[in-house]
Chains A and B, each alone.
Chain A
Amino acid sequence: MLTKELVIIGGGPAGMSAAIAAYEDGIRDLLIIERDDSLGGILQQCIHNGFGLHRFGEELTGPEYAWRYEKRVRELNIPVMLSTMVLDITEDKVVTATNSSEGIFQIKAKAIILAMGCRERPKGALNIAGHRPSGIYSAGMAQKLVNMKGFMPGKNVVILGSGDIGLIMARRMTLEGAKVHAVCELMPYSGGLARNIEQCLNDFDIPLKLSHTVVNIHGKERLEGVTIAKVDERRRPVEGTEEFIACDTLLLSVGLIPENELTKSAGVTLDRVTGGALVDQNRQTEIEGIFSCGNVLHVHDLVDYVSEEAEIAGRGAAAYIRGELVPTKNTTIKTDGKIRYTVPERITSDGDVSVYFRVSDVFRDKKVTVRSGDTIIYQKKHLKLAPGEMECVKLTADKLRGANELVFGLED
């Protein structure tokens, strides 16, 4: 069987950053496996700008950001297998993959980095009355059609869900001449970034209807319109608030989920909240030598954070391969529910640790508080916290010393 010190699954920004970091940390026997025919992952279809400002001091589009990393991968001659799909991984780190030239083959790895990204929630899960005529797309599918195939799905559009991809597509389709009649959001707040509400909706006077949903889909062959309605606090449609909007296209922007089929098959425990693996500060899963980073670990909205996290995983894997990753403690991280989750969920050695988290609702004037037993080891006031925006807390080694369990919460 073929052997490799390090196999990286996925060649998006996470996979490329992890590979570069591991290489720069001395690992030479490594391989990136990517199922697509090019590197870059989902960024290839994210042609809008705003990526990498904090990393590169420049405002880049998705493909430009990806190219920075692809260029580096090429300069370093890091081996890449394109058009190759990983089918299975095992607990003892055997990777089974397939491509058209080699059929099905196996690689025994010392360490594996999972960087498979995320996918959109399936639209079948949608609970809406009526037929399923053509003209209904997930926002990401529409993004791919418009930006990579040059195909416009329709002229009169309604978008359900105010996630970032939906907002970005509202602007994109408007610029290409479509009329976006409304963006409906079930929740009383948007799931997207404030900047996208501003530049994708407000710039074009596209109404954002909070606490609204689509209750009926009209049309048999082709979509003819949708009925939208207001929802109450329990997210049930309120009778008498129905409104018909004629449209030929409905985009669903209802969220992303980590792509973890492979992770599960290896027997890695997944976090119920994030849908990704449970990891320590090196992004090592519960199985030694298997690491996870990027959107397969938890959904990020900032690719800068994806690269940062992937570099941690790359350096972690390099240390593991050298036999230097020896756990010296086990500090677990819990949350109070207002903070929905943290990454990592446990800390296994001394040193400074950055902990990323998301909140479960919109909160104002709260203090992000980290307690170790009765001691507050970190506290910072925030004017506003929203589920759409990932936050980060840096904990220093001296504060973490001796902690058994940390609790992350929001206090008044």
Chain B
Amino acid sequence: MADNTKTRELTCIVCPRGCNLTVKYEGKNVLSVEGNICPRGEKYAEDEVICPRRTVTSTVKTEDGGVVAVKTRETIEKEKMFECMEKINSVVASLPVKIGDVILSDVCGTDIIATQNRG
């Protein structure tokens, strides 16, 4: 029987430690992850070979002409980063804004929330 096991070397991006990960997988089936210091690395490696996901951070214009920092509450599909940016750049937030406020809901399967207090 042919062995379809593939191996990929990855750099975990979840935290600045940047562990070197080795993932063994067959199709969409992850067989093993090595090199991670914590469980988040394992989750990252699994996602990365099946469907890569990213957090998007950016800014949204505020009604006073300034900006407020925002992020996607959860990670979104990596492919949808630019679609997400388009939505982020299409709104103007009214003030005041508090950390955690939802600025836009239901964008690429998650919410855009404020990461700064403004106003």
Q: Which chain A residue shows the least CB distance to B15?
A: A53
- Asked whether any CB of chain B lies closer than 8 Å to the CB of A238, the reply is no
Task: Point out the residues of chain B lying under 8 angstroms from A172, CB to CB.
Answer: 58
A121-179 contacts to B, CB under 8 A, are 146-150, 172, 175-176
Output the least CB separation between A241 and chain B (Å): 29
Task: Point out the residues of chain A lying under 8 angstroms from B82, CB to CB.
Answer: 175
Output the least CB separation between A392 and chain B (Å): 12
- Asked whether any CB of chain A lies closer than 8 Å to the CB of B49, the reply is no
CB pair B11–A49 under 8 Å, yes or no, is: no
- Asked whether any CB of chain B lies closer than 8 Å to the CB of A195, the reply is yes
CA–CA, A175 and B59, complex, Å: 11
Task: Point out the residues of chain A lying under 8 angstroms from B58, CB to CB.
Answer: 47, 172, 175-176
Task: Point out the residues of chain A lying under 8 angstroms from B85, CB to CB.
Answer: 175-176
CB pair B116–A63 under 8 Å, yes or no, is: yes
Question: A175-B56, A175-B81, A199-B54 are known contacts. Are A67 and B117 too (CB-CB below 8 A)?
Answer: yes
Contact of A150 among B12, B17, B54, B61 (CB under 8 A): B61
Output the least CB separation between A18 and chain B (Å): 22
Task: Point out the residues of chain B lying under 8 angstroms from A149, CB to CB.
Answer: 66-67
CB pair B11–A61 under 8 Å, yes or no, is: no
Q: How large is the interface on B (under 10, 10 to 19, 20 to 34, 35 or more residues)?
A: 20 to 34
CA–CA, A63 and B61, complex, Å: 17
Task: Point out the residues of chain A lying under 8 angstroms from B15, CB to CB.
Answer: 50, 53-54, 59, 195
- Interface flags for B72-96 (1: CB within 8 Å of A; 0: not) read 0000001001100100010000000
- Asked whether any CB of chain B lies closer than 8 Å to the CB of A76, the reply is no
CB pair A193–B18 under 8 Å, yes or no, is: yes
Question: A61-B71, A63-B116, A199-B13 are known contacts. Are A47 and B18 too (CB-CB below 8 A)?
Answer: no
CB pair B14–A53 under 8 Å, yes or no, is: yes
Among A48, A49, A59, A383, which residue has the most Cβ atoms of chain B within 10 A? A49
Q: DSSP class of A's interface residues: helix, strand, loop or mixed? A: helix
CA–CA, A387 and B111, complex, Å: 38
Q: How large is the interface on A (under 10, 10 to 19, 20 to 34, 35 or more residues)?
A: 20 to 34
CB pair A63–B115 under 8 Å, yes or no, is: yes
- Asked whether any CB of chain A lies closer than 8 Å to the CB of B16, the reply is yes
- Asked whether any CB of chain B lies closer than 8 Å to the CB of A336, the reply is no
- Asked whether any CB of chain A lies closer than 8 Å to the CB of B57, the reply is yes
CB pair B55–A150 under 8 Å, yes or no, is: no
Task: Point out the residues of chain A lying under 8 angstroms from B81, CB to CB.
Answer: 175
- Interface flags for A247-262 (1: CB within 8 Å of B; 0: not) read 0000000000000000
CA–CA, A67 and B98, complex, Å: 11
CB pair B59–A195 under 8 Å, yes or no, is: no
Question: A59-B14, A198-B13 are known contacts. Are A203 and B54 too (CB-CB below 8 A)?
Answer: yes
CB pair A47–B59 under 8 Å, yes or no, is: yes
Contact of B67 among A147, A195, A199, A383 (CB under 8 A): A147
CB pair A150–B115 under 8 Å, yes or no, is: no
Q: Which chain A residue shows the least CB distance to B117?
A: A67
- Asked whether any CB of chain B lies closer than 8 Å to the CB of A104, the reply is no
Task: Point out the residues of chain B lying under 8 angstroms from A176, CB to CB.
Answer: 58, 85, 89
- Asked whether any CB of chain B lies closer than 8 Å to the CB of A362, the reply is no
Contact of A194 among B11, B57, B115, B117 (CB under 8 A): B11
Question: A67-B99, A301-B16 are known contacts. Are A195 and B11 too (CB-CB below 8 A)?
Answer: yes
- Asked whether any CB of chain A lies closer than 8 Å to the CB of B103, the reply is no
Among B14, B67, B69, which residue has the most Cβ atoms of chain A within 10 A? B69
CB pair A50–B16 under 8 Å, yes or no, is: yes
Task: Point out the residues of chain B lying under 8 angstroms from A59, CB to CB.
Answer: 14-15, 55
- Interface flags for A193-225 (1: CB within 8 Å of B; 0: not) read 111011100010000000000000000000000
- Interface flags for B1-45 (1: CB within 8 Å of A; 0: not) read 000000000111111111010000000000000000000100000
CB pair B55–A49 under 8 Å, yes or no, is: yes
CB pair A302–B16 under 8 Å, yes or no, is: yes
Output the least CB separation between B47 and chain A (Å): 13
Output the least CB separation between B16 and chain A (Å): 5
- Asked whether any CB of chain B lies closer than 8 Å to the CB of A64, the reply is yes
Question: A47-B57, A47-B115, A301-B16 are known contacts. Are A147 and B11 too (CB-CB below 8 A)?
Answer: no
Task: Point out the residues of chain A lying under 8 angstroms from B18, CB to CB.
Answer: 193-195, 198, 389
Can you list 9 A-B contacts with CB-CB less than 8 angstroms, sorted by A residue number? A49-B55, A50-B15, A59-B55, A150-B67, A175-B56, A175-B81, A195-B12, A203-B54, A203-B78
Interface residues of A (CB under 8 A from B): 44, 47-50, 53-54, 59, 61, 63-64, 67, 146-150, 172, 175-176, 193-195, 197-199, 203, 301-302, 383-384, 389
**A-B CB proximity, top 10 nearest:** A194-B18, A150-B67, A47-B69, A53-B15, A195-B18, A195-B13, A63-B116, A61-B115, A198-B11, A199-B13
4 other A-B residue contacts (CB within 8 Å) besides A61-B69, A203-B54 = A50-B16, A147-B69, A198-B18, A389-B18
